[in-house]
Structure 1
């Protein structure tokens, strides 16, 4: 039911946002459309079938047997002149037996609990695998945003150079600037065109990968919304892997519970109806019907502590899982610390980037005036203009990387909305 609600919710969103998509919508698309997500419904159906098979053991069990035999010898009664006919060498028997479980120490219920626990563990494994793909979504999404910023800067640089080119051509025509000054700018414009095509091709590849991953049709016209994330400071992790560790322990506990029930006695009622020649009276040499009813007790009273040792071995399995959880927490907290340091470094770099941009803007303004007056060459101007756009590109790159670092931090922490 929960899976269907997610699919419905996401399909509603996508229906209105095909031309615009957010990071959260990509997360929902991953969870709803990635092929791995379908395993949840399959596991639920499998669990229903398994539980039905276990429950059927509480219902009467019927066995039909039939046999025809020929014996080289038959039982004879050693009474001289007795009026007892010898049995036939060919004998026939057909029986229908019904067995009804009356008591087995709770093994059926324990088996059902183990089956439910196993299914929950498998479903959580699917959740874990899907969650781990979110970092891949982060990388693709923010790489696309980074290229978008790069394309905007290339367009801005192109506009700036085109504007300067007109002024330079006027200066060349009037003899103020050297005849080849405009050619330098035109060459730079060709480089920008080349960079723009390369960036566009890279963006197209990234969009195709993201579209395939989340199951949503995207193209280069799709607008990718910029998220502005904040880090949620919590003391503990909220990762699905932690739930998986707990479910694994619970499954082991259910296995131990089932083993403890296995040493209890089992009591069955049975009824057998048959037709045979001979019947129960083996001295009657003819077909006759008969029946047998009774109770049957089955109890392994001594198993050399095999059951107990199996339960003890499962305790070690629980300890191994606890150790795996400790390792996971340690590694994740280490990664969180590294991610936090990266966030602090990027924030510091962005402050420096803004200072560099401000200083370089002053330099470009000065060189622009000098170029128009023929004091400097076009090449000198382009060098400083390129430095300005490189500084702006560096700032945008750090800004996008900062949001990616925050997204990865929240993904590591498990604090995703």
Structure 2
């Protein structure tokens, strides 16, 4: 008994699982997470971590090992008679280990780290922008699927109406009220509807498969695509990620300028060198000996022919370029928004006309339906008017979907 109950529960649950639903907002979220480009953010983080570690090593002691063996054609001699000082060998050997420790470099290392941090933010924002630009592609696919779904429902309604009408016509033929062969015309139309239905199914399957690949989510013909209620906010400000990118570029320029200003700062190093060789530091001792030196080294490039200053001035020009790009971007976006708003207004006017047309079509079809029942007209006339009504209903559905698509694109363009 328990097994039977379990089987029944599974049979009930399967259709529910199969008829999953999805929203437009969920598609946006899925593509942001699952699209292959999204992985670049992790790669950029890993790359930046390595760059930061490499730059930070400048604060650590630097070790150098050197070894050399030389043969000289001549050596230093002491010109003192009977000094009993042995001359140097012409073959000489030396091995040294040096340690250099940065003490002060005017904040150059920290400035380099800030530049890397700014570059990471810029690159991550560029990835975000590329993902954001996929939203309009998702809009096109999502609303195309909605259109096929609603077209299927309308086609099914037309089929049901024709099937009911076929029963009436056959009854009328049987009692001699309607002309023979009128039922054949209806049967032909039902076959055409079957063809149209298969074509819609194929089109819908292609659209769903494309969207499924784009967002990396399992979707199928049973998936219910929720119809979003989209409103546009005409007066709100632009909120596009590109605007944030322009600001990040300016911050990156500021950090690069700061780095350049540190490059000519005074630098102080401590060093120590230990070695073994012949001769050592005592040139008069012609034997292998150990030696060492310790000290500090100060370096300051006090004049570079204004090279650093010119590089910084060049960066300031880059800032002006970014400001110009920002201005151009806003101009183009506002043009797109105006065009999209005109498209929305146009479609809304179409919908108002569609509703008037449908009211008239329904009145005509009622009259034709009555005439067919009384044998005044043929099935062909009825089919013509029914098809006209169906096509106009399909146009209304198409305009409604186009209106939602136009509003969704408007919001994407605006950054809402």
TM-score grouping bracket, smaller chain normalisation = over 0.9
TM-aligned CA deviation for residue 235 of structure 1: 3.5
Shift of 1:16: 7.9
Instruction: Give the unaligned 5+ runs of structure 1.
Output: 1-14
TM (norm. structure 1) is 0.94
In the superposition, relative to structure 1, how do residues 217 and 209 fare at CA in structure 2: closer, same or farther (>3 Å)? same
Runs of 4+ in structure 1 displaced over 6 angstroms?
15-18
Alpha-carbon shift at residue 368 of structure 1 (Å): 0.4
**Contact preservation (8 Å) 2:97, 2:273:** yes
- The CA deviation at 1:172 is 1.9
| Residue aligned with 2:97, SS | strand
User: Could you tell me how far 1:83 is from its partner in structure 2?
Assistant: 1.1
Aligned to 1:23: 24
Figure out how many residues of one structure are paired with residues of the other and give that number: 401
What is the Cα deviation at residue 174 of structure 1? 2.2
- The residue aligned with 2:139 is 138
Residue 250 (structure 1) aligned with residue 251 (structure 2):
yes
Q: CA deviation at 1:176?
A: 2.1
Q: Tell whether the 8 Å contact from 1:18 to 1:218 is kept in structure 2 after alignment.
A: no
Unaligned runs of 5+ in 2: 1-15
Contact 1:18 1:217 in 2 (8 A): no
Aligned pairs for 1:345-364 (under 5 A) are 345-364=346-365
Match of 2:59 in 1: 58
Cα drift, residue 88 of structure 1:
1.4
1:4-403 mapped onto 2 (5 Å cutoff): 19-403=20-404
Decide which moves more: 342-351 or 103-112. Answer: 342-351
TM-score, normalising length: structure 2: 0.94
**Counterparts of 2:305 and 2:175, CA distance in 1:** 109
Q: Separation in 2 of the partners of 1:235 and 1:380?
A: 53
Give distance in 2, aligned partners of 1:193 and 1:89.
104
Output the CA distance in 2 between the equivalents of 1:348 and 1:91: 97
Deviations along 1:228-280, whole A, 9 cap, x unmatched? 11113444200001011111111111111111111112111111111111000
Deviation by residue 1:66-125 (Cα, 9 ceiling, x = unmatched):
111122222111111111011112211111111111111111010000000000000000
CA contact 1:266–1:299 (8 Å) conserved in 2: yes
Distance 1:32 1:111 in 2: 31
Partner Cα distance (1:105, 1:399) in 2: 65
Superposed displacement of residue 178, structure 1 = 2.1
CA distance in 2, matches of 1:209, 1:324: 34
Mapped partners of 1:260, 1:170: distance in 2: 96
| Aligned equivalents of 1:35, 1:173: Cα separation in 2 | 65
Counterpart CA distance in 1 for 2:274 and 2:125 is 50
Shift in Å at residue 316 of structure 1? 1.3
Q: Give the conservation status (yes or no) of the 8 Å contact 1:278–1:284.
A: yes
Q: Which residue of 2 aligns with 1:4?
A: none
Matched residues in 1 for 2:195 and 2:405: separation? 27
1:301-358 Cα shifts (integer Å, max 9, x gaps): 2111111111111111111111111111111111111111111222222122112111
2-structure distance, mates of 1:400, 1:283: 98
Hey, what's the Cα distance between the residues in 1 that align with 2:268 and 2:380?
98
